[in-house]
Amino acid sequence: MIRRLDESSGNVLGWEVTDKVTEEEVRTLSEEFKAAIAEHGKVRVLIRMRRIPRMGLAAWVEDFKLTPYAKDIERYAIVSDSNIFEWTSNVAEAFIGGEVRRFEDSRYEEAWRWVRS
């Protein structure tokens, strides 16, 4: 499931990703993401995940369609206690135009402050 976080506003977007993610959820996130880029030019993103979600092939394809927009991200915060996201945040730096940081879940508020600053 993908849920937009209440702290999102303007060009600062946040989502929590849990359990199984559907193609429709990724499409909705994608539309919000592209609309923010169209309005603001650049965006800042926070993703909160406790573990890697389960996604079907259609959801992965929809997610992959966002790759050309990675250059439009100024800051990307990954909030998770899972060590796997340390590795994925390093990979993300190769694709994302801006800074990438991982925060442990206990530092959730700090992650929001960083992504907004």
Residue 12: burial class (beta carbons within 10 Å; 0-12, 13-18, 19+): buried
Residue ranges and CATH numbers for the domains of the chain are 2-116 (3.30.750)
Residues 39-52 have pLDDT tens digits of 999 999 999 998 88
pLDDT of 93 > 90? The answer is no
Q: List the beta strands (DSSP E) in 1-117.
A: 2-4, 12-17, 20-21, 43-49, 54-55, 73-79, 99-103
Residues 6-35 have pLDDT tens digits of 999 999 999 999 999 999 999 999 999 999
pLDDT of 54 > 80? The answer is yes
Structure tokens given for 89: 């945040």
